[in-house]
Structure 1
Amino acid sequence: MTIKLIATDLDATFLRADKTFDRQAYDVMMNLAKQRGLTFVVATGNHPDKVKKYFEGANQDFILIANNGAEIVSQGEILTTYAIDPSAFAPVVQTVKAHQDHVSMGLVFTGITKAFMLKEMAALGLGERKAQFYFKDLVMIDDLAEISEPILKMTADFPDYEPEFMSAITEQDLPVHVTTSGYGAIDLVNPTVNKGVALKDLGQRLGIQPEEMTAFGDGLNDLEMLELVGQPYAMPNSDSELLTRDYQVAISDSNHDGVLKTILADIL
């Protein structure tokens, strides 16, 4: 089956540890993809503003699946969003507080244009300082009622405590899907969405079947996307769960531009 779409995660997959990538190889890849009619997709847990910063000065003619599938953006236009039911907000806040001794960043609510953080959450872990590094236009609030737009993702950091916190959320049967990209970061999104759901939705819009797609990932939040596509690649530095699956393995790890090397050697 001819590949028509290439999707990749960013952190610890496409990006090196210092959040850079081989820009010369990237330009070659993007030019070849355009010549051959392939669609390049970035699928990440990050907000669009963060992605734009990573690719500043580089070709951004790709489709973006942001916030772990809760938002699809093309050429600056939002194609689809999946908001979280507000009834989940308060229980998640209480769960974070119940496990606050393990928090390095309190709960942040990511909307379409801005992010919100309760002041009581800012007092946990590294607090507001860490949140401001990851979230542009962070608004500090006293009460959940001050959230003024639909929320696409809730995020908190629990280093070395992801399974315990995820279990605490899951056992409450809240209207959220909880996942982790590793390194302590835990994301909660609409229960109907993940990167795989968003990529399938995008494929339907573009007339591309899952078996005509390839994807690269390293974390558990990439699992549904990798299971969807016809040609999945795990990074050598992936979560051990991914390496037990029947996936191909990229030529090299994220710190050595494994995604770009594999695309140029095996796909284009």
Structure 2
Amino acid sequence: MIKLIATDLDATFLRADKTFNEDLLSTVLTKLKTFDGYFVVATGNHVQRVATYFANFSGQYQLIANNGAEVVLDGIIQNVKSLPEHSLSVILSLVEQLKTAPQMGLVYTAADRSFMLASQAPEDPAIVKKANDFFENLIVVDRIEQIDVPVLKATVVVQPEETPEFMQAVRLMLPHQVHVTTSGYGAIDIVNIDVNKANALQYLANKLSIEPDEIMAFGDGLNDMEMLDFVGHPYAMPNSDPALFDHDFNVAVSDNEHDGVLNTILEVLNTQKE
């Protein structure tokens, strides 16, 4: 029996305009209650940004944020894992070696704010606005030493053709210290070595006394791979990174623009006996 359902957000659960079918989610949540089940958002987004998406569903979901660097269980943030402090300057030096400047600069995300170095700040006002919209409380600093709180995640958007080389360079410079992943389109997240969506989901499942074969999960990108490998009922989106189709994952009934996650959940839950 499925007791927990986890889903990525961007290009998985959310439409391109960052909306979703709220009536259909209400139906899913009502159905889940009959099985004493849980709905989990598993995303690279920060806690506050997810709260704006699910403003009408406060208290009705659990959360894995920043690709697993934070778990929010019943409204309480826990299992927080930050980057090693010395890794921040190493990541910066590698970004500075890129052939093309990153689209939104290098951003360091903390629990309730984000930081960008002035040397990395984009000049295009439209990109600056996009960065401010995406990252919570974005603060521009002159030096890494001015970042006075633990950093959960470093994010950079590089040219797609530079993505593999950059990711490999980070792994070589910070072996056994960081986990490097991508959601596609050149967007790269660097987190603590113990951080990924699977580890966070396992922590959550242990807290709720749920086994992996009782979990359904949905994703579209390489940063969802560990989570999909971990659960008993993995679903890749039809619009997924092609690499996901090399695995033995189920495929959702439709893509993120057509309520694929919610319709797949209902299709499965409607066959499940109480």
Same fold (TM over 0.5): yes
Percent of matched pairs sharing the same residue: 47
- Among 160, 178, 185, the alignment partner of 1:176 is 178
CA distance in 2 between counterparts of 1:167 and 1:155 reads 15
Q: Deviations over 1:188-220 (max 9, x none)?
A: 000111000100111111111111111000000
> Could you tell me which amino acid in structure 2 is paired with residue 136 of structure 1?
E
**1:32-43 maps to which residues of 2 (within 5 A)?**
32-43=31-42
Which ranges in structure 2 are unaligned for 5 or more consecutive residues? none
CA distance in 1 between counterparts of 2:244 and 2:122 reads 35
Q: Deviations over 1:18-49 (max 9, x none)?
A: 11111110111111112220111100000011
Q: Deviations over 1:70-109 (max 9, x none)?
A: 0001243102201110110001001111105151111111
**1:113-262 maps to which residues of 2 (within 5 A)?**
113-123=112-122, 128-160=128-160, 161-174=162-175, 175-262=177-264
Matched, 1:84 2:83: yes
1:183 CA displacement: 2.1
Larger mean Cα displacement after TM superposition, 73-82 or 19-28: 73-82
Whether the 8 Å contact between 1:177 and 1:188 is mirrored in structure 2 is yes
Matched, 1:19 2:21: no
Whether the 8 Å contact between 2:112 and 2:136 is mirrored in structure 1 is no
Matched residue, 2:62: 63
Whether the 8 Å contact between 1:45 and 1:69 is mirrored in structure 2 is yes
> Could you tell me which amino acid in structure 1 is paired with residue 206 of structure 2?
Q
Larger mean Cα displacement after TM superposition, 46-55 or 125-134: 125-134
CA distance in 2 between counterparts of 1:76 and 1:100 reads 42
Q: Deviations over 1:208-246 (max 9, x none)?
A: 111111100000000000000011000010111111211
Q: Deviations over 1:104-132 (max 9, x none)?
A: 11111111111111111114777643321
Whether the 8 Å contact between 2:100 and 2:159 is mirrored in structure 1 is no
CA distance in 1 between counterparts of 2:20 and 2:267 reads 17
Provide runs of 4+ in structure 1 moved above 2 Å: 56-60, 123-130
Whether the 8 Å contact between 2:13 and 2:260 is mirrored in structure 1 is yes
Whether the 8 Å contact between 1:44 and 1:68 is mirrored in structure 2 is yes
Q: Deviations over 1:156-206 (max 9, x none)?
A: 111423222212212223421100011221100001110001001111111
